[in-house]
Amino acid sequence: MTLARSIRRVLACALLAGALVRPAHAVVNPGQAAPAFTKNVLNSNPWPTATLSQFAGKVLVLEILGYDCVFCMTAAPSIETNIWRHYQTVAPGQVQVLGCDVRDGTIAQLNGFRTTTGVTYPLLRDCWGGALNPQNFVNWYGERDNYVVINKQGVVRYRAAQVWPYGNGYHLNELLGCIDSLVTLGLDAEPGARASVEFAAAPNPAREGATLSLALPHAEARLRVSVLDLSGRRVATLADGEAGAGAHEYAWDLRDGAGGRAAPGVYLAEVSAGSWRRTVRLVVVR
C-alpha cells in the first residue's frame, strides 16, 4: 500500500469517527421548545451564570450578537430603550433580555460592546464555542444580527433569522407585537378595567391571519372586538354584542371592512365593554 493511500484511509476514518460523535444540531423554529443552556455572564453581572430554567415564567428575549457586529451595535441601544427598559415599566418582572455573543469575544471586547452601545441587560459569553459545541447558539438560532423571543413556558415564538437576512434582522415592531402577546400589560387597561380579563393575539407577527383569544370572568351585555390602526381608525370589527363568561376566539383574516388586504404594519387589537378596554399590538407582515 502506498503512503498516499494510507494517509487517505487514515483521514477517511478520522472523518467518519468525527461524523459519528458530532452532536445532532437543528435550527429551532417557532413552536419548538428552546434548548437548555448554561452560559457565563459578563463580569458576573447580575449573576455568574445564566440558564434557561432560571427564566421559567418570564418572556425571554435573546439578542444573538457579535461583539464586533455593526448591525448588532446599531440595534442594541433600541433594544435597551424600547424593549428592556420599556417592559420593566409596562410589564415589570415579566421580560428578560439577554445579549448572546456568538463571536466568543474576550471580556475586554464584550465590555467594549457594552460601552459603545450603553446597554445594561446581561451579556452572555461564549455562545458559539465551536462547531461541535452542544450549546451552540448559531446552530440553534442562526448567525448574529438575530433576535429570538421565548415564551413563559420555554417555547420559541419568534426567530428573526427565519425571515430576515443578516444585516436586516432587527425589526422592532415585530418584536414588540410578539412580546405584547405573551405578557400582561398593565398600561393597556383603562381605569376601572377588570384585571382578570385575558386578551392575546396569535400568531404575532401574522402573515395569513390571526386569532384573538379572550377570557372573560363575567358576562358582558355588549362587548366589541376590533382591529385599529395606530391612528385609532377602526380597520375591522370582529364582534359587537353580548358575550358570556369564559373563553372566546375571534378570527381576523387580515382584511379591512371593505374586504381589502390590510397593509403590512402595526395594528391594535382591542376588546372593550362598558368602561374598560384592553389592547395588544398585532404586527402584519407579507
Q: What is the pLDDT of residues 68-122, one digit of tens each?
A: 999 999 999 999 998 999 888 878 899 999 999 999 999 999 999 999 999 999 9
Q: How far apart are CA 284 and CA 257, in angstroms?
A: 16
**Which secondary structure element, helix H or strand E, spans residue 76, and what is its range?**
helix 70-78
Question: What is the mean predicted confidence (pLDDT) over 17-39?
Answer: 72
Residues 6 or more apart whose CB falls under 8 angstroms from that of 17 comprise none
Q: Are 126 and 218 in contact (CB under 8 A)?
A: no
Note the pLDDT of residue 189: 44
Better-predicted residue by pLDDT, 277 or 208 = 208
Note the pLDDT of residue 278: 83
Q: Is the pLDDT of residue 15 over 90?
A: no
Q: Which residues share a beta bridge with 97?
A: 61
Better-predicted residue by pLDDT, 240 or 173 = 240
Note the pLDDT of residue 285: 85
With cut-offs at 50, 70 and 90, classify the pLDDT of residue 23. very low
Q: How far apart are CA 66 and CA 143, in angstroms?
A: 9
Note the pLDDT of residue 185: 64
Helix (H/G/I), strand (E/B), else coil: 232: coil
Q: Is the pLDDT of residue 6 over 90?
A: no
Q: Is the pLDDT of residue 7 over 60?
A: no
- The chain-wide mean pLDDT, for the chain, equals 86
Q: Is the pLDDT of residue 22 over 60?
A: no
Q: Is the pLDDT of residue 55 over 70?
A: yes
Measuring CA to CA, which residue among 232, 83, 215 is closest to residue 158? 83
Measuring CA to CA, which residue among 149, 97, 190 is closest to residue 283? 149
Phi, psi of 207 (to 5 degrees): -115, -40
Better-predicted residue by pLDDT, 36 or 24 = 36
Question: What is the mean predicted confidence (pLDDT) over 270-280?
Answer: 83
Q: Which residues share a beta bridge with 265?
A: 284
Q: Are 199 and 280 in contact (CB under 8 A)?
A: yes
Q: Are 96 and 61 in contact (CB under 8 A)?
A: yes
Q: How far apart are CA 204 and CA 209, in angstroms?
A: 9
- The domains located in the chain, with CATH, are 22-170 (3.40.30.10), 186-284 (2.60.40.4070)
CA angle 78, 211, 262 (to 5 degrees): 65
With residues binned 3-state (H G I as helix, E B as strand, rest as coil), the percentages for the chain, rounded to 5, are 25, 35, 40
Q: Is the pLDDT of residue 8 over 50?
A: no
Q: Are strands 265-273 and 276-284 parallel, antiparallel or unpaired?
A: antiparallel
Q: Is the pLDDT of residue 181 over 60?
A: yes
Note the pLDDT of residue 184: 75
**Which secondary structure element, helix H or strand E, spans residue 245, and what is its range?**
none
